[in-house]
Structure 1
Amino acid sequence: MASNFTEKAVVRQSLTAVISLMVVLHMGICLGYSAVLIPQLRTKESLLKITNSESSWIASSNTVFMSVGSLFTGILMDNYGRKRALQLTYIFLFFGWIIIFRADSVLALYLGRIITGLATGMDSVAVVYIVETSTLQYRAMFLSWMTPIIMFGVLLSYMLGHFLFWKYSALILSFFSGVCFIQVFIIPESPSWLLSKNRIEEAVKSLKWFRVDPQYIFVEMKELQASMLQFENCLEKTSIIEKIKLTRAWKPFILLTIYFCLTQFSGDNIIISHAVNFYQSFDTPIDPFTSTLIFISLRLFSSLIFLIIIGKFNNKSLIVFSGTGVSISYLLAAVYQYLYGSAENKPMFWFPLVCVWSSVIFTSLGLSNMSWILGGELFPSSVRGFMSSLLWTTFYILMFSAIQIYPSLENYVRTSDILLIFSINALLSTLFVKYTLPETRGKTLTEIEKFWRNDVNL
């Protein structure tokens, strides 16, 4: 009977994770869509003509508004629930793709890209939903699906753009968004959020759906109630200023922001967005399409390996291994470029490329993929909705800043210097995680929450 309980619980939690992560799939699709949209708009046969400046804004408008969507979703999650926020995300995606499908002007394309950007920026709801509905045995595994799903979304976008006219691709994606919206009705609201709104009976019913086993339900319900009661008692005794200073709210946010800042400037997203210019700086004979295909293939492959090893090693150990590998890979490429970057006949011209591809593999084994897990696990339930959305807003701003800074940086410093910057930031990321962040593998959310109680009377 216990085995039957477990099987049902795993199936239901997995279903919830898949339905939630369709938002992340759309993120990958949106990131890759501009790469197939813009070339089609630039053909002689295109009825809608665009300039270089317009193509740049079509590509970047999606990313800019992801940070706005991320901040907006925190308010939605805390006030209306995780489920409704997730459904609203799919509604935005549906109308965004419809606008792109019907676009007959550049302004309409901007609007469609902005709306889809707002929606994909709301992906923190998927992280929070998964964290609050999964048991600790499967929580990290579900969150580790995010990067391979993003990469699969990019590939899917490329495939649609290769075989179909861009309007037809948008129409198919709008239909897909509508299907995702309907699927959310299958799963219940997060028990943690229901409990935070004092909807006890609904919280118990939701927990029964996710856990099935009555003994597990009783124990977890008691833990959730005790944790929230302790937090509420603390808030009643503090002033507004003191509430802001609560360790469990601000400390994980600040630490994760520093971590994200270091990782954003360790090369990963910069290379994704500037692959052509980046590879051209090595004076390599490999064409941009091949370089992009190799990059995405390696990223997807290594992310799948991450899914296998995530349950076998501690989270911090994976980040240390990953960050060290990334740092060494970039350092070797930097040394090579410093010695032979200006040489006419470069010995082993493929060496820096192999180093960069090696860094892609290493970063997927912990440094980048672990961001989703840490961002979802470290905040307590009482502030998880708002703080998670604020964190991912900061993440997208940092990502946009890193992507925007790179072209200017490329004009003032050598390629070897840029590679050295990537190497140093990867190393600093590793050291930062090792000595500041807690280990979360094998710990319940209540146990993780206790880590932040050292300097306050909670």
Structure 2
Amino acid sequence: MDGSNPQSPERMPLNLSSDSSKDNDYEVSKNEVVLEGFDSVKTHKLVYKDVLPQIIISCLAHCIVIQAGINMAYSTILEDGLKDTLTTNQISWIASLVTLSLPCGSLFVGPLMDYFGRKKICIISCIPSIISWIFLIVAKSEVLIYIARIIAGISGGLSTVSLVYISEITHPQIRPMLLCFNSIFVSLGILITYSLGVWLAWNQMAIVFLIMNICIFFSLLFIPESPYWIMCFGKGESSQINHQVETILKKLNKTEQIYDQELVRIKEVSQNSSNQNNSLVKKMAWFYQQLKTPTVYKPTIILLVLFLLQQLAGTYVIIFYALSVFENLGGSFGKSFDKYDAMVILGILRFLMSLLTSFFSKNYGRRFLCITSGLGMAFSMFFSAMYFYLTSAVDENGQTKEVMADQKWILLVLVLFYVCTSCIGFVIIPWTLIGELLPISVRGIMGGFLVSAAYVMMFGVTKTYPYLVKALGAQGLFYFFSVTSLIGATFVYVFLPETLGKSFAEIEKYFDKKD
């Protein structure tokens, strides 16, 4: 199933914990060789101090996705601040334009990161974001706001590079956790935006975010290039490339044995992924042939379906239209608790759940997290819809009226529970799988394609949401989200392989095996 070879005498389990009594499924190279049942060979256990540089650098790289969270949450701030001067159609464009332009950045980021390198594109991704905030600061008309949102979307699409970069600089045993940090930083952006939205106007917030993006730009100057990219795409003599890779690996891995393992993995993957054809025609022909291999088309199809189900389950509608959603729920949930308070609570919960999920991912597989997430989302949306059904009644004039108005807190709890369970899996895992399931040779281009496809789906959902609410009502929409969530959990159970603790080579072997 997982393509591993647990009986090989040249491999042994590697334990991340300092507790030697715990076993792990991941197998290391013969640099830590020990035969099962023999205790005479002392091995090195991976502990956090061994990978601390990887954790710090990953956090710096993840800073660029804070902008993605801000983009999503800022939509509801703009909607609320401009609703008295703009039409429903104009407001829906402000919310959805950022997702419409996201695919532009995502499509270009693949070839750009393959040609220029992961680090340079991380830095470049900050530039459109800085420009967009300048436009919003000086905006006097909706046209300039539209342009700013389009540019912000391009920046968000370019930020996809962080997932690929982090997957290539981290040890396989902590890779799932650090990839899930992506959602922590997205959630941080959402939380910051919601919190500032209580106190500042939308154009004042733009000044804060401009300063933040400038700081992120300069901090990224200090991260190293991906050693995988240098080995597979780097230019220069072999000796120079090898020296660069070894220098970076020594910075990332302070323990010699871990360094040796990573060097072996990189050389193994680079041999399988070599594409040294200088002719554009030959490269295109080679890429077309790669698309027909099961190691490429199988994970691509799985990820496309996952992203479709993610969007149709409403995971991002709640973020883009938080204030509108809470207004549809009733707007006020108590004497001193309104939709703005609910919005901030949503941001806090999403951040905390993303934090917990990142640590869960070190011990619990992708399949378990996604299935649990899908079932929890289905449960909460179904009972939210049932609440609307049970608390509405028709009077003698045929008009629908609300009963149990003082019990709206139940509905709020159900919706917030939906947010929590969505963060366990369906909001986070599909994005992180891009950096795990795809082969290194096509990861840049295909990763960009998949993110673009996901954002096109996101655009469709966010653009049509205001009209769907009018057509179906909150009750009908919640029923739809519930059914889609259940389908998502079923799809994961049937088709998604487990990647926890697997090397890139092992994952490729899984998809390459005969059905």
Give the TM-score category using the shorter length.
0.7 to 0.9
Which is further off, 339-348 or 209-218?
339-348
Report the Cα distance in structure 2 between the residues aligned to 1:233 and 1:299, rounded to whole angstroms: 41
**Cα displacement (A) at 1:397:** 1.0
SS at match of 1:268: coil
Aligned residue type for 2:303: L
SS at match of 1:154: helix
**Cα displacement (A) at 1:156:** 1.7
Matches within 5 A, 1:425-444: 425-444=484-503
Contact 2:382 2:478 in 1 (8 A): yes
Aligned residue type for 1:31: M
Residues 263 and 253 of structure 1, relative CA distance in 2, 3 Å threshold: same
Matched, 1:208 2:250: yes
Matched, 1:91 2:91: no
Report the Cα distance in structure 2 between the residues aligned to 1:249 and 1:386, rounded to whole angstroms: 11
Residues 40 and 336 of structure 1, relative CA distance in 2, 3 Å threshold: closer
SS at match of 2:425: helix
SS at match of 2:160: helix
Aligned counterpart, 1:153? 189
Post-superposition CA distance 1:77-121 (Å, at most 9, x none): 111110011011012222222233333444333332222221112
Matched, 1:14 2:50: no
Matches within 5 A, 1:402-441: 402-441=461-500
Report the Cα distance in structure 2 between the residues aligned to 1:437 and 1:104, rounded to whole angstroms: 48
Residues 403 and 58 of structure 1, relative CA distance in 2, 3 Å threshold: closer
Aligned residue type for 2:344: L
Aligned counterpart, 1:61? 97
Post-superposition CA distance 1:54-96 (Å, at most 9, x none): 4443333222211211112112111111001101101222222
Give the CA RMSD over aligned residues: 3.1
Which 4+ residue blocks in structure 1 deviate beyond 6 angstroms? 2-5, 233-240
Report the Cα distance in structure 2 between the residues aligned to 1:269 and 1:279, rounded to whole angstroms: 14
Contact 1:282 1:341 in 2 (8 A): no
**Cα displacement (A) at 1:244:** 2.4
Which is further off, 391-400 or 224-233?
224-233
Aligned counterpart, 1:346? 403
Q: What is the aligned counterpart of 2:353 among 296, 302, 305?
A: 302
Aligned counterpart, 2:291? 244
Aligned residue type for 1:329: S
Matches within 5 A, 1:155-170: 155-164=191-200, 166-170=202-206
Residues 365 and 188 of structure 1, relative CA distance in 2, 3 Å threshold: same
Aligned residue type for 2:434: G
**Cα displacement (A) at 1:196:** 0.7
Q: What is the aligned counterpart of 1:371 among 414, 420, 430?
A: 430
Q: What is the aligned counterpart of 1:391 among 447, 450, 467?
A: 450
Post-superposition CA distance 1:237-288 (Å, at most 9, x none): 9876533211222221111110111121112212223344444445564343
Post-superposition CA distance 1:307-357 (Å, at most 9, x none): 342223222112212211221222223334334433646355544433222
Matches within 5 A, 1:241-390: 241-283=288-330, 285-286=332-333, 287-342=338-393, 344=401, 346-347=403-404, 348-390=407-449
Residues 159 and 274 of structure 1, relative CA distance in 2, 3 Å threshold: closer
Contact 1:224 1:446 in 2 (8 A): no
Report the Cα distance in structure 1 between the residues aligned to 2:343 and 2:462, rounded to whole angstroms: 16
Residues 435 and 106 of structure 1, relative CA distance in 2, 3 Å threshold: same
Matched, 1:173 2:209: yes
Report the Cα distance in structure 2 between the residues aligned to 1:173 and 1:240, rounded to whole angstroms: 39
Which is further off, 110-119 or 151-160?
151-160
Identity %: 30
Contact 1:327 1:426 in 2 (8 A): yes
Residues 37 and 336 of structure 1, relative CA distance in 2, 3 Å threshold: closer
Contact 1:9 1:209 in 2 (8 A): no
SS at match of 2:403: coil
Matches within 5 A, 1:6-85: 9-37=50-78, 53-85=89-121
Q: If each structure's helix is expressed as a fraction of its own residues, which one has the higher value? A: 1
Matches within 5 A, 1:185-204: 185-198=221-234, 199-204=241-246
Report the Cα distance in structure 2 between the residues aligned to 1:215 and 1:128, rounded to whole angstroms: 24
Q: How many equivalent pairs are there?
A: 450
Residues 4 and 414 of structure 1, relative CA distance in 2, 3 Å threshold: closer
Report the Cα distance in structure 2 between the residues aligned to 1:195 and 1:142, rounded to whole angstroms: 22
Contact 1:6 1:212 in 2 (8 A): no
Aligned residue type for 1:68: C
Aligned counterpart, 2:237? none
Report the Cα distance in structure 2 between the residues aligned to 1:267 and 1:169, rounded to whole angstroms: 27
Question: Which consecutive residues of structure 2, in runs of 5 or more, have no partner in the other structure?
Answer: 1-42, 235-240, 395-400
Which is further off, 365-374 or 389-398?
365-374
Report the Cα distance in structure 1 between the residues aligned to 2:293 and 2:422, rounded to whole angstroms: 33
Aligned residue type for 2:147: L
Aligned residue type for 2:366: N
Aligned counterpart, 2:18? none
SS at match of 1:127: helix
**Cα displacement (A) at 1:158:** 3.7
Aligned residue type for 1:430: A
Residues 252 and 293 of structure 1, relative CA distance in 2, 3 Å threshold: same
Residues 81 and 346 of structure 1, relative CA distance in 2, 3 Å threshold: same
Q: What is the aligned counterpart of 2:173 among 127, 137, 151?
A: 137
SS at match of 2:440: coil
Post-superposition CA distance 1:128-160 (Å, at most 9, x none): 111101112221222222223222212322444
Which is further off, 30-39 or 414-423?
30-39
**Cα displacement (A) at 1:392:** 0.8
Post-superposition CA distance 1:390-409 (Å, at most 9, x none): 11111111111122233333
Aligned counterpart, 1:46? none
Post-superposition CA distance 1:278-306 (Å, at most 9, x none): 44445564343233233223322322332
SS at match of 2:502: coil
Aligned residue type for 2:459: F
Which is further off, 97-106 or 360-369?
97-106
